[in-house]
Amino acid sequence: MLKNRIIPCLDVKNGRVVKGINFVNLKDAGDPVEQAKIYSDGGADEICFLDITASNENRDTIYDVVKDTSKKCFVPLTVGGGVRSIEDINKLLNCGADKVSINTAAVQNAEVVVESSKKFGSQCIVVAIDAKKNGEVWEVFTHGGRNNTGINAIEFAKKMEESGAGELLITSMDRDGTQAGYDIDLINKISSTTNIPLIASGGVGNLDHLVDGIKLGKASAVLAASVFHYGKYSVKEAKQYLDSKGIAVRI
Amino acid sequence: MKITIVDYNSGNISSVINSFKEVAQNKVNIVVTSDLKKIKSSDKVVLPGQGSFKSCVDALNNVSGLAESLNEFAINNKKPLLGICVGLQMFADIGYEETETKGLGWISGKVSKIDNKDGKYKLPHIGWNQINIVKESKIFKNIKNNSHMYFVHSYEFIPNDKSVISSTTDYSTNIVCSAEKENLFGTQFHPEKSDKLGLQIIENFINL
């Protein structure tokens, strides 16, 4: 039986982890390679890096991080943030990323998704959608949640599936950083209208939120950052909890 | 010993290279090339493959003489070869992804889209699934039955002769996830991304 995946996400800026785990035995809390290794040793099903480097001159730092991580972690590695072009995707894959997530560029030009999935295969193209509720609908935001495009998120998700995305990473901008749990309605609506796996993101504050993402949201995978970053729970604890709730996980 | 990972522009092979180098350390020489002479002089060959069946077959045929050299290596000389993902799928006679495409024809069979049971199952089949070992295989040494491996694919290899199947996995149907015929080994899952157990399979192949 296919297991539900738990994906810890690390925010990386200028090659350093922004909100790292505070473990006493950690040599360098800002080293993304060491953090990723802790996660994969702890049973993470995948590792996700979100590059939030703002300045262009430091953009290349992520490539070194990916290179070093892929030599030490032997679980899938997804990298996103600032991916603009086929060339960016090619570079990340060559450095050892297994999947690349595309956000703003996919909204601006769906052809990037069409072309990249043809060139590299759908299996490595994840489309990340940042959505925020406006009245009764969810709208797509870009540029790290700063710009409202007014595009209907559910329709956009369907369009991305048709364009060749292999997976969808859905983040609720209303919930992100709140620790109030995923936007289950959003996750469930997109999961039930598309036929590709969905990764739920944004808002996890406790382990029941992960359970809800899978049971109620029908997500294939659940992504979380801060609950793991700050050592509130380990990936192992999260898996054991999900298992105790009858959710199929790899233990 | 020299093991060659065939680099034929078949998508992202850096994870395969990293995992083999991790296991080999300095004991085994890992070569990444499409050079025919180097392939012929190898002790073992790894044939990776990502993207579609058609794109991999096209990429393989784009390297002049590569299919013939692999054929000589694996079929005439019967040296060990490991196909990973589409690398395994290409063992088949024919694949139906994008359009009907001829495979290497090493293990008679076809590659078809996984039945998603009218949308009840999502595709690609992405994530960790358990393998049910149905035949003793040297590459499964120290691998327990029902171990988890990492999958990412929408198409499956269906061999005509079921005795080549060494493990299967349950998704929408019972999917072939590894095949073995004499010196030919193939996994539908990605040992290079299947953590410690995947590295064990790579080690088993190196130690054949």
pLDDT (tens digit per residue) in B15-68 = 999 999 999 998 999 999 999 999 999 999 999 999 899 999 999 999 999 999
Q: Which residue of B has its CA nearest to A123?
A: B152
- Decide if B11 touches A, using CB distance below 8 A: yes
Chains A & B: contacts with CB separation below 8 Å: 99
* Mean pLDDT, rounded, of chain A: 93
Mind listing the domains of chain B with CATH numbers? 2-206 (3.40.50.880)
> How many C-beta atoms lie closer than 10 Å to residue A195's C-beta?
14
Those of residues 133-192 in B touching chain A at CB distance below 8 A are: 148, 150-154, 170-171, 192
Q: What percent of chain A has pLDDT over 90?
A: 83
Chain A residues in contact with B130 by the CB 8 A cut-off are 1
* Whole-angstrom distance, CA of residue A190 vs CA of residue A180: 20
Contacts 24+ apart (CB under 8 A), A22-28: A22/A230, A22/A231, A23/A231
A57 secondary structure, DSSP code: G
- Residue B68's contacts (CB-CB under 8 Å, 6 or more residues apart) are none
Does A28 score more than 80 pLDDT? no
Query: For position A86, what pLDDT does the model report?
Result: 94
The values of phi and psi at residue B6, to 5°, are -75, 120
- Decide if B22 touches A, using CB distance below 8 A: yes
Does A23 score more than 80 pLDDT? no
Name the one residue in this structure whose structure tokens are 């290409």.
Answer: B90
Burial letters A105-134, b for 16+ CB under 10 A, else e: bbbeebebbbbbbbbbbbbbbbbbbbbbbe
CA angle (A87 as vertex; A83, A91 as ends), nearest 5: 80
Query: For position A202, what pLDDT does the model report?
Result: 94
* Whole-angstrom distance, CA of residue A106 vs CA of residue A112: 6
Chain A residues in contact with B203 by the CB 8 A cut-off are none
Query: For position A59, what pLDDT does the model report?
Result: 81
Q: What is the ipTM of this complex?
A: 0.94
Does B106 score more than 90 pLDDT? yes
CA A98 to chain centre: 13
Which pTM was predicted? 0.96
Tell me the shortest Cα–Cα distance from B155 to chain A, in angstroms. Answer: 12
Q: What percent of chain B has pLDDT over 70?
A: 100
Residues of chain A contacting B, Cβ within 8 Å: 1-5, 40, 45, 70-71, 74-76, 93-98, 119-124, 166-167, 195-197, 220-221, 250
A28-32, A235-239, B138-142, B183-187: range with lowest mean pLDDT: A28-32
Does A145 score more than 90 pLDDT? no
Does A29 score more than 90 pLDDT? no
> How many C-beta atoms lie closer than 10 Å to residue A42's C-beta?
16
In this complex, do B150 and A76 lie within 8 Å of one another by their Cβ atoms? yes
Tell me the shortest Cα–Cα distance from A95 to chain B, in angstroms. Answer: 7
**For testing the chain B interface, which of A41, A48, A74 should be mutated: the one with the most B CBs within 10 Å?**
A74
CA nearest neighbour of B137 among B85, B197, B201, B55: B201
Query: Which candidate in B97, B180, B192, B203 is catalytic?
Result: B192
Those of residues 44-103 in B touching chain A at CB distance below 8 A are: 50-52, 55
Does A3 score more than 70 pLDDT? yes
Which of A5, A96, A167 is closest, CB to CB, to B15?
Answer: A96
Query: For position A27, what pLDDT does the model report?
Result: 58
Contact B19, B28 (CB under 8 A): no
Does A223 score more than 60 pLDDT? yes
Does A25 score more than 60 pLDDT? no
CA nearest neighbour of A63 among A75, A76, A81, A45: A81
pLDDT average, residue stretch B101-109: 98
In this complex, do B124 and A75 lie within 8 Å of one another by their Cβ atoms? no
Question: Two tokens at B76?
Answer: 């005439």
More confident residue, A146 or A190: A190
- Residue B60's contacts (CB-CB under 8 Å, 6 or more residues apart) are B8, B10, B66, B67, B70, B90
DSSP string, B71-140: HIIIIIS---EEEETHHHHTTSSEE-SSS-EE---SS-EEEEEPP-TTTTS-SSEEEEEE-EE-S--GGG
CA atoms B129, B197, B113, A109: torsion sign: positive
pLDDT band at A232 (very low <50, low <70, confident <90, very high): confident
- Residue B136's contacts (CB-CB under 8 Å, 6 or more residues apart) are B166
* Whole-angstrom distance, CA of residue A126 vs CA of residue A96: 16
* Whole-angstrom distance, CA of residue A105 vs CA of residue A98: 19
* Whole-angstrom distance, CA of residue A4 vs CA of residue A128: 19
Query: For position A26, what pLDDT does the model report?
Result: 56
Pairing label, strands B101-102, B94-95: antiparallel
**For testing the chain A interface, which of B152, B170, B203 should be mutated: the one with the most A CBs within 10 Å?**
B152
Instruction: State the catalytic residues of A.
Output: 11, 130
In this complex, do B50 and A220 lie within 8 Å of one another by their Cβ atoms? no
Q: Which residue of B has its CA nearest to A221?
A: B127
Q: Indicate if B190 belongs to the active site.
A: yes
Tell me the per-residue pLDDT of A54-111, one tens digit each, with 9 for 90 and over.
Answer: 777 788 899 999 999 999 999 999 999 999 999 999 999 999 999 999 999 999 999 9
